Structure formats: structure tokens, C-alpha cells
């Protein structure tokens, strides 16, 4: 595995691969890697000749008072995991590489509508931060394919829309959520949970599965949302939303819709947990 820290080195490597006629897959991350991230890399190695993983904790996708300052930095351990998994190139830039003009006046990329609902309503500017850094990575890596986990389902749809609207010739691949044995979605932020909070955290996924069954049984969407929000609150969570949306674009569902995403964001202690599940009533 080769590691590069600046854009010029990255571009030179990409140009070399292109001259050799090789295909490239990109997996963007913020580091502190777990098995979910490694599953993306393993799939990337199956579908492309060369793989790039980026590790960059992107400050402009964090809101005021969020965990940017304490987000775990584990580059050495991450490098060992990536090397063992067969990565070709690790790109680990610093702030100056991706924000040469500074963060205050830097150009922003915004995806309307999708960015202002659900997580976007509670984290203003978050998805603009995500869209901006992903655009920078797409321009410099020029991958044929890019892989993202479905745990961040709204983020995945934002990136798909960005890719289509900006005419990037990149295939966006969503990968299944990797879970712990008790159903908790793997996340770098799970490390913020105390032992007692970790024992309660699987209620997030249990509530999604319960809501899915209620939806399949013909329950009213607003009743299902209210019931499961209340149950999480009673269990000590601080729910931001528990929402049933149209699968393809996260719009509010209409009477004719059959494919849904059930999404939840809730705080447990100092950890903000998100998860989702998909339901298809179309047979």
C-alpha cells in the first residue's frame, strides 16, 4: 500500500493508472475505521483494478458544538487495517490541501431539497460540507466508481444527486449496513457510548424493525412515527426524528407509494446515532 499526503502526488498516481488503462474505485472516509469501512474496500477491490481510500476529517460538515475537535484520529491503526485489506493507495491530506483558500470563503457545493430535511434540518450546512469535500475528491481522484455505506442513507442520496447534476462520469454504489451482533449499526461514533449506553443502543435498530412490521401490517405512517419516537424517548434516547419517507428521494410518501425508507436519528449520551431500514410493499 502506498500513502500520499498531497494532491500533486495523488494526481500523478491517478495519471499513471490511467495511462495503463486501469479502472479506479474510491472510498471516502473520515478514518477511525471499522468493519463497515473495510467492507467497502473489499467490494471496491472486486469491481476495479485500483482502489483509493481517503481519510480526512472534514471540518465544514461539522456544525457548531459538534464533535469535530474530539473526532478520533487513528491514522496509524487505520493504515494497518487498510494495508491488510489490500488497499492500493491511501490519500490522507491536511486542511491546506483541500481548503487552500481557507474554510471561511471557500467555494461550497449545495444539493437543494435533499440537504434541508431530516439530518439536514438538525445539522444546517452539514450536507453542503459533505457535497463540497466529495466534489473535491471526485475531481482529483477521477474514479470510475465510488462506494458509500447505506447507514448514511440521506448522504448517499445527496451524493447520487450531486453526481448526476454535475455530470460526473462516476458510478455511485451504496453498500449494505454492517451491524454488530446485537443489530447496532457500526459507526465510528459508537465509541462515545458508555457501557450502559451501549447496552441500550440496539433499541435503535429494534425500533426500526418494529416500525417496518407495523407498516407492512397497514399501520398509519404518522401513528407509527409517533409511537416509536415516544418509545425511544421513554428508553432514555433524545430523538431528533423517526420518519417514514419515500425510498428514492426521501419525500413525504403519498397514497400510491410502495417503497419506503424508515430513518431515525437520536442522541444517547454524547453519541448521535443514525440508522435506517427499507420496506417494499410492492410485492
Asked if residue 22 and residue 108 are part of one domain, the reply reads yes
Q: What is the pLDDT of residue 101?
A: 87
Asked if residue 253 and residue 116 are part of one domain, the reply reads no
Neighbours of 181 (CB within 10 A): 6
Which of 124, 154, 175 is the C-terminal boundary of a domain? 175
Angle at 36 between CA 125 and CA 85, to 5 degrees: 120
Domain that holds residue 215: 188-276
Which of 142, 175, 208 is the C-terminal boundary of a domain? 175
Please say if 88 is a catalytic residue: no
Q: Compute, in degrees rounded to 10, the torsion defined by CA atoms 100, 102, 106, 111.
A: 100
Please give the tally of structural domains in the chain. Answer: 2
Asked if residue 137 and residue 27 are part of one domain, the reply reads yes
Asked if residue 169 and residue 127 are part of one domain, the reply reads yes
In this prediction the pTM is 0.97
Asked if residue 149 and residue 18 are part of one domain, the reply reads yes
Mean pLDDT by 10 residues, the chain (283 residues): 97 98 98 97 98 97 91 95 98 95 90 96 97 98 98 98 98 98 97 98 98 98 98 98 98 97 98 98 85
Which of 175, 200, 234 is the C-terminal boundary of a domain? 175
Active-site residue, selected from the candidate residues 34, 37, 228, 278: 37
Q: Measuring CA to CA, which residue among 149, 130, 164 is closest to residue 59?
A: 130
Asked if residue 30 and residue 56 are part of one domain, the reply reads yes
> What CATH number does the domain containing 211 carry?
3.30.1300.10
Instruction: Please report whether residue 283 resides in a domain.
Output: no
Asked if residue 23 and residue 141 are part of one domain, the reply reads yes
In the numeric block, which cell numbers belong to residue 127?
450536507
In the numeric block, which cell numbers belong to residue 138?
471526485
Instruction: Please report whether residue 10 resides in a domain.
Output: yes
Instruction: Please report whether residue 281 resides in a domain.
Output: no
Instruction: Please report whether residue 246 resides in a domain.
Output: yes
CA 107 to chain CA mean position, Å: 22
The rounded distance, in Å, linking the Cα atoms of 260 and 281 is 8
DSSP 59: G
Q: Helix %, strand %, coil % for the chain, to 5?
A: 45, 20, 35
Asked if residue 236 and residue 196 are part of one domain, the reply reads yes
Q: Measuring CA to CA, which residue among 197, 223, 195, 224 is closest to residue 209?
A: 224
Asked if residue 195 and residue 122 are part of one domain, the reply reads no
DSSP 281: -
Asked if residue 137 and residue 23 are part of one domain, the reply reads yes
Amino acid at each position: 500500500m502506498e500513502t500520499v499526503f498531497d494532491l500533486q502526488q495523488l494526481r500523478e498516481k491517478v495519471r499513471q493508472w490511467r495511462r495503463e488503462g486501469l479502472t479506479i474505485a474510491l472510498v471516502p472516509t473520515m478514518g477511525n475505521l471499522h468493519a463497515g469501512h473495510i467492507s467497502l474496500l473489499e467490494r471496491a477491490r472486486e469491481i476495479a483494478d485500483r482502489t483509493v481510500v481517503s481519510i480526512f476529517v472534514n471540518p465544514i460538515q461539522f456544525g457548531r458544538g459538534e464533535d469535530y475537535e474530539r473526532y478520533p484520529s487513528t491514522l496509524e491503526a487505520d493504515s494497518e487495517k487498510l494495508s491488510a485489506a489490500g488497499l492500493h493507495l491511501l490519500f490522507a491530506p491536511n486542511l491546506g490541501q483541500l481548503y487552500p483558500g481557507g474554510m471561511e470563503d471557500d467555494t461550497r457545493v449545495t444539493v437543494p431539497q435533499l440537504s434541508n430535511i431530516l439530518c439536514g434540518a438538525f445539522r444546517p450546512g452539514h450536507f453542503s460540507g459533505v457535497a463540497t469535500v466529495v466534489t473535491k475528491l471526485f475531481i482529483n481522484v477521477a474514479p470510475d466508481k465510488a462506494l458509500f455505506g447505506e447507514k448514511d442513507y440521506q448522504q448517499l442520496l445527496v451524493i447520487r444527486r450531486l453526481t448526476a447534476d454535475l455530470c460526473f462520469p462516476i458510478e455511485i454504489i451504496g453498500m449494505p449496513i454492517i451491524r454488530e451482533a446485537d443489530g447496532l449499526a457500526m459507526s465510528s461514533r459508537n465509541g462515545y457510548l458508555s457501557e450502559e449506553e451501549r447496552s441500550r443502543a440496539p433499541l435503535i435498530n429494534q425500533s426500526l424493525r418494529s416500525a417496518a412490521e407495523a407498516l407492512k401490517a397497514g399501520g398509519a405512517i404518522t401513528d407509527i412515527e409517533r409511537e416509536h419516537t415516544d418509545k425511544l424517548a421513554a428508553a432514555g434516547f433524545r430523538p431528533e426524528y423517526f420518519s417514514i419517507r419515500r425510498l428514492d428521494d426521501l419525500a413525504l410518501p403519498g397514497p400510491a407509494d410502495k417503497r419506503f425508507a424508515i430513518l431515525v436519528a437520536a442522541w444517547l449520551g454524547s453519541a448521535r446515532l443514525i440508522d435506517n431500514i427499507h420496506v417494499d410493499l410492492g410485492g
